[in-house]
Amino acid sequence: MHEPERFKSPEYLAVLDETPSSEPCHFSSSAIQAMKKAAEKDYPLEACGLLIGTNNSGWQIDEARQIENLNKERAADRFQLDPAGYQRVDSELRGSGREIIGVFHSHPDCPAKPSPTDLESAWEGFVYPIISTCDGKAEALLCWTLNENGDKFQALSVEHASK
């Protein structure tokens, strides 16, 4: 896959912590499929959604739900998660023992690496999978979280569960 020059720029490289996180991120196969399906469906625009699961002894993601991207002007390279969609899922999960623990989005025809814009909107304690979608096909999924200082993204290892 071609990597646009901006991903090699100092601004983009500055958002990456070279030390990967020691915490793995466990995904159910249905969550991975849901993220890939959303990315392929919305191509060439960015798809986005929420990750549902637990974070007791590492991230356990058992569900991914697509939420509307409200950014209509720059949807090819930006997303804005619909707050009403977030609130709806959050309300539904109350008392279930599961919670929203991350946000996924796609990068159409770009690598699955976070951008400075992604860093500006990231929350501590959340997981951020990015799906690289090329020519309408989900090709790579990389997962990120903020480092201890909250100023850069650290890579997370992605582990697949059979669920």
The whole-number pLDDT of residue 85 equals 97
Query: HSE on the CB side for 154, CA within 13 Å?
Result: 19
Here the CATH number for the domain that contains residue 70 is 3.40.140.10
- Residue 6: predicted pLDDT: 80
51 is in which domain, residue-wise?
Answer: 29-161
Does residue 55 sit within a domain?
Answer: yes
Q: Is residue 149 part of a domain?
A: yes
Q: What is the pLDDT of residues 12-47, one digit of tens each?
A: 888 999 999 988 899 999 999 999 999 999 999 999
SS3 6: helix
Q: Which residues contact 158 (CB under 8 A, 6 or more apart)?
A: 24, 25, 27, 129, 141, 142, 143
More confident residue, 56 or 92: 92
Share of the chain above pLDDT 90, in %: 80
- The mean of the pLDDT values for the chain is 93
Would the pLDDT of 163 be above 60?
Answer: no
Q: Flag whether 68 is in a domain.
A: yes
Task: Find how far residue 140's CA is from the centre of its chain.
Answer: 12
* Range 50-72 average pLDDT: 94
Phi-psi region of 135 (alpha: psi -120 to 50; beta: other; left: phi over 0): left
